[in-house]
Amino acid sequence: MHTSIENLLNNQIKYEAMASMQYLAMASWADAEGYNGIANFFYMQSEEEREHMLKLVKFVNERGGKVIIPQLEQPADEFSSLQSLFNHFLESEMFVTEQINGIIDECLKLKDYNTNNFMQWYVTEQLEEEATARTLLDKLNIIGDDNSGYYLFDRDISTFVQPHEDR
């Protein structure tokens, strides 16, 4: 495996781990605020990000690269509103998408078609996750600052999200 691809994949392991911890902190915040539906949503997202990280760890090992399990910064754990919480979610996903696109660019430059092929799963995944984050933010923007709207959003959040088939 080319060193620059190995480095980028190790960075990606870190970003997936960061997303997993960030969503865990968001789940815990929502739990403490009494939003159980939102808490469950982020507990599940956190698990998914951990799986994305693991998939990369296994891939780098299979390809004979050296995996570096990263040290992480403490995630944000205070949010001023549900809008701010979900805005954070969208920004985090957009950041990850950008990094994945960077890996694809490098794969194509170095003709590493195997890693490119592997990373296509992440491209699709990001598309879905960004769409989910945008849908949820749109709904919150419609609700504005109506508490009964938040109650319904929390109750119904699982029905707003498309189930994933390939996990």
**Which residues here bind ligand OFO, judged by CB under 6 A?**
16, 19, 49, 52, 93, 96, 125-126, 129
C-alpha–C-alpha distance, residues 37 and 86, integer Å: 14
Least distance between ligand OFO and beta carbon 123 (Å) = 10
C-alpha–C-alpha distance, residues 9 and 61, integer Å: 11
CB closer to ligand OFO out of 111 and 167: 167
CB closer to ligand OFO out of 15 and 35: 15
DSSP 108-137: HHHT-HHHHHHHHHHHHHHHHHHHHHHHHH
Least distance between ligand OFO and beta carbon 49 (Å) = 5
Contact 10, 53 (CB under 8 A): no
CB closer to ligand OFO out of 129 and 154: 129
For the chain, counts of helices (H) and of strands (E): 5, 0
Least distance between ligand OFO and beta carbon 163 (Å) = 15
Q: Which of 134, 103, 99, 90 is nearest to 1 (CA)?
A: 103
CB closer to ligand OFO out of 12 and 116: 12
